Structure 1
Amino acid sequence: MQRQLRDLRGVAISQWTVRRRLHEKNLTPKIPAIVPKLTPARRQVRLRFARNHLNWTLEQWGSVLFSNETRTCLHGTDRRRKVCRTPKERFADCCLEERSAYGGGFCMIWGAISIRTRIDPDIIRKGDRVHERRGLTDVRYIEEILAIHVVP
């Protein structure tokens, strides 16, 4: 910011002035929220969907099931956390974050909701054997998720 102000307005200020002003406005460093990347094409698809369903009734929405799957880390988080410390405190216990090798693994969890019901979350398994590395294909999604939880 210091550099941007200098380049934009020709004003030289210290980094401490910048930090103080940000702090006065309650602006502190945070990890950014994660959102889906929306390409122009995806934005158009979403806009078309919204326009096509603008006047739907509750009865029509009642026939829709919204589902989602999410990746969950088994040990901690895969996002970087921040700590405030002095240079000498780098390896102090209060400034450490223990991690399992390779993140400790993860699992996928699926769930769904509609106006009328909520389907309890379910774990999506990679395969029957540990060494089997099967991804979630459309066939597996239909056979192992939808057929069990959705189809009567």
Structure 2
Amino acid sequence: MTAQPTVYFLNGPNANLYGLDRSGTYGRESFVAIKQRCEDHAASLKLTLEFRQSNHEGVLVDWIQEAREKAGGLIINAAGLTYTSIAILDALLAFEGPIIEAHMSNIWKREPFRHHSYVSRAATGVVAGLGALGYELALTAVARLIAEQAPR
């Protein structure tokens, strides 16, 4: 019996505040509830999920590097670092598995500075604007991409 593939789902600055935003940009669900949704969905996809959040760029870079050795796929919502972090881009470019960039909001309907993502340069695909549902769709996509790469 083969082990379940591991997927790292990394969340950047302020993602831990989901559900608390008065504007509703990120929906009403709390980060804890979104994490539980993702854990449940990953289990249904037969994935081992490492769902993490940090407000610190270097910690995210460390986790991406860790994923190189431990994960078959990676999902990242780098949040505000999406638009600024070359360090995260460089770490992602060293990851050999599929990478899904995920955003709760539609970044192209927001302020112009959010229209350029450094993360997209390394991403296999992007899911944006669908709230927590997008997180589940990102998991479904990465599971399929990992399966397509598996030796038969």
If the length of structure 2 is used for normalisation, what is the TM-score? 0.23
If the length of structure 1 is used for normalisation, what is the TM-score? 0.23
| Structure label with greater radius of gyration | 1
Question: More helix by proportion, 1 or 2?
Answer: 2
